Structure formats: structure tokens, C-alpha cells
Amino acid sequence: MKLVALSMVVLSAAMIVRPLHAEEGESGQRGLALARQVCSECHAVQPQQLQSPNTRAPTFVALATTPGMTSTALTVALTTPHAGMPMFRLSADQRQAVIDYILSLKQAGSTPGK
């Protein structure tokens, strides 16, 4: 009986830990959460979304697959005001998480349906 209880504990611990390892990385995950909160009002932030709510705003996959799109370019885009795009109060840390997430969509762009 004790053994059963113990293996239940081990099993449930494994179930809690596993999803974290399956994801693309902690920063990217945080970036998705932030993007959902702050950017999804206008941008399609997930690869499944084919069109942005605000049709003038590029989808994140489109941003990620833009030739020459780098972390630096995204940092500039997010620290300078753009027409139609409000300035955000993201910490440098949060900004980097969102950028990591956008760049992680490069692969998503080439494998639709991920």
C-alpha cells in the first residue's frame, strides 16, 4: 500500500514536470503569455492565427519570417513609437521574452500546424 502511494507521488510529480520540458524554453513561454496579454489585441500572436485582429498589424509569424528580422531589429521596433502602435511599458526582460517568442516562430512559419 505504501508503495502504491509513493508511486502515485512520483507519477504526479513527473506529470507536473514534463510539460515544462516539452515547451520551447522558459523565456519563449513567458513571451507568449506576455504577447497574449499585450499584443494580441492587434497582432496574431500564435502560428494558428492567419490574420491579425487589426488588419494593419503584421502577424507574428510574418514578423518572424521577414528576411533580416533579428533580435536587434525587434528591440528597435519595440523601443521606438510606431504609427498605430502604442508604446509599451515592458521591462527589458519582458521585451526580450516577447522577442524570443517572436523569433521562435521562424520554425513555426516553415512547419504550419505546429
A 10 A CB-CB count for 97 gives: 23
Task: Closer to ligand HEC by CB, 13 or 87: give it.
Answer: 87
- CA 88 vs CA 38, 49, 78: distances in Å: 8, 23, 8
Among 44, 61, 63, 105, interactor with ligand HEC by CB under 6 A: 63
Give the span between the Cα atoms of 4 and 37, in whole angstroms. Answer: 42
Q: Is 64 in the site for ligand HEC (CB under 6 A)?
A: no
The site for ligand HEC (CB under 6 A) is made up of: 35, 38-39, 41-43, 54, 56-58, 63, 74, 77-78, 82-86, 88, 98
